[in-house]
Chain A
């Protein structure tokens, strides 16, 4: 269920980005999203809800490309980095130290957007009728 909320947050962030291109409406090819392993987001489910959510919207047809980011902890005892295996716990395999520091794995970040801007003569075709004309 939380992927629906994450998709909503993603659409909200994308809407803010679209506003920065006003009055043009970008044609989005791909949204590149980094998803850390130490988050509550399941990438496959996020793609599924994304595809459902963008139907009949300005983002219809846009691909959501997810770049998984592995969890990486740092042992404060010996400074070695390690990827915990949840079944074996989160202690560092070198010194059995608890997971004090997370180097990466908490990412939920829109890294970049691939898009095109419509030609000037077609730009207004994407605007709703009520929107002010440029």
Chain B
């Protein structure tokens, strides 16, 4: 791999031991990929805090949080002092919500360990956003900006809806990018990696949040890691719709980038979206595909008594919390059911100021932050059947926790929470 003089200096220790370890990992990683160079990035989203008993024990035995950061973030057995970050860096979601340890099933000891780790991350200069949707709370990349982000739903949103450039990075590569402002110049950083390779035409209107989730789930299952170009979009989708669409497509498949012709920034025309590529195949999405996808997502739902309704995957927008509050106002969550809504801390603050938190809590629901049920593996005690308005969560919860899942609209989910029953199809 070609390195600039500045990169060679970092590798050789000019900026300290931790930066040298970070550059060493990025070189090994770039060479593994077959990248020819590194690219500069000033916008990194990753995870540097420690939340598990395994990491707590590692810290105790090997030399504290510096040892954890050295091993798990820099891939270094030598313990180096954790420096401040050089790139603007945002923290992604966690394995639990530290404000709700009882519901999350974590001990006070682990919460205290996490708080030390969060303070250390903040001291490094990492923004404690603690969300899978950093683009909602202060980190909106611009078109063409090179990023180093992990979290598949955020990656597909940044590449596709915003026109920024990132691969799906991991814990170690994002941490090394935070310290060096570099990431391998490969894949979606390069023009040729971003062009469409196959086509999808919409034969039916795709309009609601539910519609976009179903379409995304169908599309991801077909295209896997390839870049689809979608034609036939009749109504321009807003933030909650594209957030759900990308999350669904990156769960059933590995979609990191898509083009919606006439909507997304690198697809003003069909020709631009393909950039000279020929579509290897074009498929149509119609009423039959939609119905089959809904049936597939709901395949393991048999018991209509709903124990738990989870909303906020990916983390809810303030618009979605407003909608949920309107649907809940004056109603009560059923005695045999529970409602948890997940959102970034900053959006919960707005919801509280607007009175939505009070409405949701008066109904018996909870607004939580920092995590979700899939990340935390936490659900209300005794939960066997869950209702969800997220195709991604409906993909993961049955696999991770062995639950039955029902997928539908937000209104159907709120209705299930208030009646304790799944009444939709």
Chains A and B are bound partners: no
A contact residues vs B (CB 8 Å cutoff):
none
